[in-house]
Chain A
Amino acid sequence: MDVGRDVTLLEATRRALVDAMEASERVVLLGQDVGRLGGVFRATEGLLERFPGRVFDTPLAEGGIVGASVGLAIGGLVPVAEIQFAGFLHQAFHQITQQLARYRFRSRGRFHLPVTIRAPYGGGLRMPEFHPDSLEAQLANVPGLKVFAPAFPDDAYALLREAVRDPDPVLFLEPQRLYRSVRGPLHLDDTGSSAARLRREGDDVLLVSWGPAVHTCLTAAQELETGHGVQAAVLDLRRLSPIDDRGLCEAAAARRRVVVVHEGVRTAGLGAEVVARLQEALADTISLPILRVAAPDTPYPPGRLEDHFLPSTGKVVAAALRAVHGR
C-alpha cells in the first residue's frame, strides 16, 4: 500500500494499526476473530503473522474484552480492542462507563488507561439485527471517554493513530458500509488534531454530520447546488466527544443556517447536543434555525426497511431548503 495512492477506509485502518504497532511494542490487539481470520471485515488481516505474540483472539465476551483491556493497560500495555459490531457494546457497557472511562477519576490519577476500542457501526449493508446500530449518543454521554468517528480513509488513519496515542480511552467508531466503498488518498499523518473539518465549502447552509452520514450530506449538497442553487457546506465532526465547540460554532456562525444529520435515533441523539451547544454559544449574537435529520425513534429495522429508517439524501435536501427558505 503506497502513500499517495488512493486506498479504502479499511486499508487505511489496517495501515494505522500496523504503524501504531511498529511505533510501540506495547501496542497489542485483542478481540473476537481478530487473529487468524483478521477480523470479520479483515481490518486486522496479516497482523498476527506480522506481530506474533501481540495479536490475540479472545473468547466471545465483550465485557471481558473491555475489562481485560483495562487490566492490560494497568499492566503497562497499550491495548487496541475490537468489538466486532458496535451494537454489541451494550454487553460491555458497564465496563466502559463504570471502569474504562473513569479509571483515572476513580483512582485520583493513579492510573490512566491508553485503551482504544474499535467498533464497526452504521447501516446500509442489510445486516442482521443489532449489527447496524448507531450508539454514538450513548457513548458521548460517558464522561472520561473520547469518541472518534472517521468518514474518510485519511481520517481512519489519522484519528486511529491519535486514538492509540491518547493516554486516555477512545471509542473508535468505524463506518462499516464505508470500509470498502470509500476510497481516498492516504496521508500518513499522525500529528493531526481531531478537530471538526469542513469537507465541502458553501455559504448558504451548514450540514453537520459524522461517519457514514457525512457522505449522505455530501450527496445532498451536490443536489442542493445543481437542483436548487443552494450552496451547502458540510462539516465533518470527526470527534464526537468532546465535541469541537470552536470549529462547530465558527462554521455555523458563518452560515447562520444549520442542519444536523445522523443515523442514530432522533430522541436524545447526538444532534440534540449539537443544537444545544450552538444555541448556548450563539444565542446572544445570532438567531439561527437549526434542524435535525435523524433516524426515527424505532429499533433498527430488518432488511430493506432500513432504506426508510436511514436519513436519505432527499430528507437532507428538504431540511436544508427549509432552513434556507423557511418553509
Chain B
Amino acid sequence: MTATRDWAREWAEGDGQPLQLLGHDGRILRPEVARPPDDLVREGLRLMLLSRAIDERCTNLQRQGRLGLYAPVLGQEAAVVGSHLAIDPAVDWLVPASREQPAMLRHGWPLDRMLALMLGRFEAARIPDDVRMLPRQQSIGSQLPHAVGIAWSASIERRDDVTLAYCGDGATSEGDFHEACNLAGVMQVPLVLVVINNQYAISTPIAKQTRAARLADRARGYGFPGVAVDGNDLLAVHEVTSQAVERARSGQGPTMIEAVTYRLGFHNTSDNPSLYREPAEVARAEELDPVARVVAYAETQGLVDAAAVEAQVLEARAEVATALERALTYPTPGPDDVFRHVSAEEDQRASE
C-alpha cells in the first residue's frame, strides 16, 4: 500500500490536519490502508507500557530523593514508539533528543544501563559499542547536524543505513534545526527527522515558538517532504515513518515528520505545569491518551484482552524493578573519573 500512497503529498493536499489512521476510540478510520502485522502492534504496546512503568518508577525515585531529575515520556509514547518501530536497530542509527526512552531501549541500550545514567552511574551507562545510537542531548537541537552528518556518511560510503533523529517543537526555533535541515536537503541524505510537537517547551506554548500553522510545513522550504501525523496514533506514526524510511533507504533523501502530541506530564521533575496551563486543557489531552487508543485497537482486533493488558503492566513494572536493582549495583563515580574520556592521551596516562 505504501508503494502507491504518498503520505506527504496527501497531507500537503489536505486540510492541514495531522494524518490519522485510528479514531480516538481505537477504531479503524482508513480501512483501505494496510494494517501493520499483529506482532508489531503487540511490541508497540509492550514498549509503551514499559515506558509508562519507567516514568512511574523514576518519578517516584525522584520524589524520594534517590534520583536527581527525570523527564517523563507520558503522553508521547505512540509518537516515539510508532516511529522507532519503522527502523532496524541492527542497521540504522538513532539520534535521540532526550525523552525518547522506549526508542533507546528498542535500539539496544539496556534498561539497567539507562537507569544507571539517571542514578549517576555514568560509566555503566555508556552506550554499548554495537548499539548505533548517540547519547541523549541536553543542548536543544544540537544533535540535528550530527544526525545529518551520520546520514551523509552513509551516502558517501554508499551504505544503506538510515538515520532516525528526534527533536521537540522548541528545537525548531534553534539555528541548528535550520542548518541541519538545510544541509540535509542540499545533500539529500538518508535522514528521517521526527519533530515531536508536544505543545510545550517547558512553559512556552507552540504558538510562541512559531506563527507557522504546522511545523511540517517547514520541510518544503528545505526542499524535501514534510508530513504532520497524529502523534497519539501508533499506526499512523508507524505508517508515515515507514514510508519516510523507505524513501531515505532508496536514495530519495530526507523527510520531516511532525508528530502532533501532548506532554501529559511535567517537563521534568522540577517543573510545575499548573503554573502555565489550565486543568481543562490537560483533561482534554488525557482523553486522547495514546496508550488507551492502541489498547482499544488491539482489543477490537483480538490481539489482547483487558486481563492480558493488566498482566503486561505488571510485567513492565517487574522488569523496571529488576533493572533498577541491577543498576544500583554499578559503581558510583570516584574522583579519577573526572579526568577520564577527555582525550586519548588522558585515558592513556590514566591506564599507565
A interface list, Cβ under 8 A from B: 28, 53-54, 56, 58-59, 61, 63-64, 66-77, 79, 94-95, 98-99, 104-112, 143-144, 146, 166-168
Contacts and interface: CB of A to CB of B under 8 A. Distances in A.
Contact of B127 (A64, A76, A110): A110
A54 B123 CA distance: 36
A75 B149 contact: yes
Given A106-B135, A107-B126, A108-B126, A64 B145 contact: yes
Nearest to A98: B139
Nearest to B158: A53
Contact of A110 (B126, B187, B344): B126
Contact of B142 (A59, A94, A144, A168): A94
Of listed B146, B175, B183, residue having the most chain A CB within 10 A: B146
Chain B's interface: helix, strand, loop or mixed, by majority?
A: helix
B114 to A, nearest CB: 13
A323 to B, nearest CB: 33
B343 A67 contact: no
Given A108-B122, A110-B127, A76 B153 contact: yes
A73 B153 CA distance: 8
A137 to B, nearest CB: 19
A70 B156 contact: no
A109 B128 CA distance: 10
A70 B145 contact: yes
A102 to B, nearest CB: 8
Contact of A71 (B129, B135, B145): B145
Contacts of B156: 28, 53-54, 72, 77
B149 A68 contact: yes
B271 interface: no
Contacts of A146: 343
Contacts of B186: 58-59
Given A59-B186, A71-B153, A74-B149, A108 B176 contact: no
A275 to B, nearest CB: 24
A110 B153 contact: no
A-B complex: 8 closest residue pairs judged by Cβ atoms: A71-B149, A67-B145, A75-B153, A64-B179, A68-B149, A71-B146, A108-B126, A71-B150
Contact of A75 (B144, B152, B182, B341): B152
Interface string B238-262: 0000000000000000000000000
B134 interface: yes
B304 interface: no
Given A70-B145, A70-B146, A61 B341 contact: no
Contact of A109 (B151, B153, B180, B341): B341
Name the residue among A70, A73, A167, A168 with the largest chain B CB count within 10 angstroms.
A70
Contacts of A112: 344
A61 B122 contact: no
A200 to B, nearest CB: 29
Given A64-B179, A77-B156, 8 more contacts: A28-B156, A59-B179, A64-B180, A64-B183, A69-B149, A98-B139, A99-B146, A168-B344
B342 A68 contact: no
A75 B145 contact: no
A99 B342 CA distance: 12
11 contacts: A59-B182, A63-B179, A64-B176, A69-B149, A75-B150, A94-B176, A99-B146, A105-B340, A107-B127, A108-B123, A108-B340
A75 B148 CA distance: 10
A168 to B, nearest CB: 5
Contact of B341 (A68, A104, A166): A104
Contacts of A64: 145, 148, 176, 179-180, 182-183
Interface of B: 93, 122-123, 125-127, 129, 134-135, 139, 142, 144-154, 156-157, 175-176, 179-180, 182-183, 186-187, 340-344, 347
Given A59-B186, A108-B125, A99 B153 contact: no
A44 B24 CA distance: 58
A56 B148 CA distance: 14
Nearest to B139: A98
Contacts of B175: 63
A109 B135 contact: no
Contacts of B127: 107, 110
B96 to A, nearest CB: 13
A89 B343 CA distance: 22
A295 to B, nearest CB: 29
A73 B179 contact: no
A75 B154 contact: yes
A29 to B, nearest CB: 12
Contacts of A108: 122-123, 125-126, 340-341
Nearest to A69: B149
A106 to B, nearest CB: 6
Contact of B342 (A56, A104, A111): A104
Nearest to B165: A71
Given A63-B176, A110-B129, A144-B343, A71 B147 contact: yes
Contacts of A94: 139, 142, 176
Nearest to B181: A64
A139 to B, nearest CB: 15
A72 B291 CA distance: 37
Nearest to A72: B149
B134 A58 contact: no
Q: Which of A67, A68, A94, A143 has the most CB of B within 10 A?
A: A68
Contact of A74 (B123, B142, B146, B176): B146
A69 to B, nearest CB: 6
Given A64-B145, A104-B341, A109-B126, A74 B182 contact: no
Contacts of A106: 135
A174 B294 CA distance: 58
A79 B150 CA distance: 12
A67 B342 contact: no
Contacts of A107: 126-127, 134-135, 341
A67 B135 contact: no
Given A75-B153, A77-B156, A108-B123, A99 B142 contact: yes
